């Protein structure tokens, strides 16, 4: 599933882009064959309702074909439940997290199991 709603706007504000969903569109399922065609260097996983530990546990259930997609890409896990899956006062912190991941040379990265980690 590709994140929609306000996530494309957050990516735009952090000088990145959502490649499959436009701002304001609902999150949508994507076929693996379309996903592997994307030319990306970073992948940020933010499953709805999942914190980082739950996402790590669920990764082992991914289809083996996803390994090809993740190969040679930086993969990050964020606390989707707390920072990305619902609007609220933490939306500014969500933007800071994306900026740290996307521009670590400008924004001092502060990874932690409560915000984001790199796999």
- Cα 94 to Cα 9, 39, 79, 98: the distances in Å are 11, 24, 9, 6
Give tens-digit pLDDT for 69-82.
888 899 999 999 99
Query: Cα(119)–Cα(20) distance, rounded to whole angstroms?
Result: 23
How is the chain split into domains, by residue range?
7-118
- pTM for this entry: 0.88
* 5-58 tens-digit pLDDT: 678 888 899 998 888 777 777 777 888 888 888 888 899 999 989 999 999 999
């Amino acid at each position: 599933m590709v994140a929609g709603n306000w996530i494309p706007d957050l990516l735009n504000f952090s000088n990145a882009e959502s490649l499959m969903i436009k701002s304001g569109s609902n999150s949508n399922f994507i076929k693996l064959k379309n996903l592997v065609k994307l030319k990306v260097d970073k992948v940020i996983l933010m499953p709805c309702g999942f914190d980082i530990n739950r996402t790590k546990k669920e990764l082992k259930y991914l289809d083996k074909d996803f390994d090809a997609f993740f190969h040679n890409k930086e993969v990050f896990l964020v606390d989707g439940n707390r920072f990305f899956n619902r609007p609220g006062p933490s939306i500014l912190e969500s933007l800071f997290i994306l900026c740290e991941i996307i521009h670590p040379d400008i924004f001092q990265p502060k990874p932690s199991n409560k915000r984001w980690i790199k796999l």
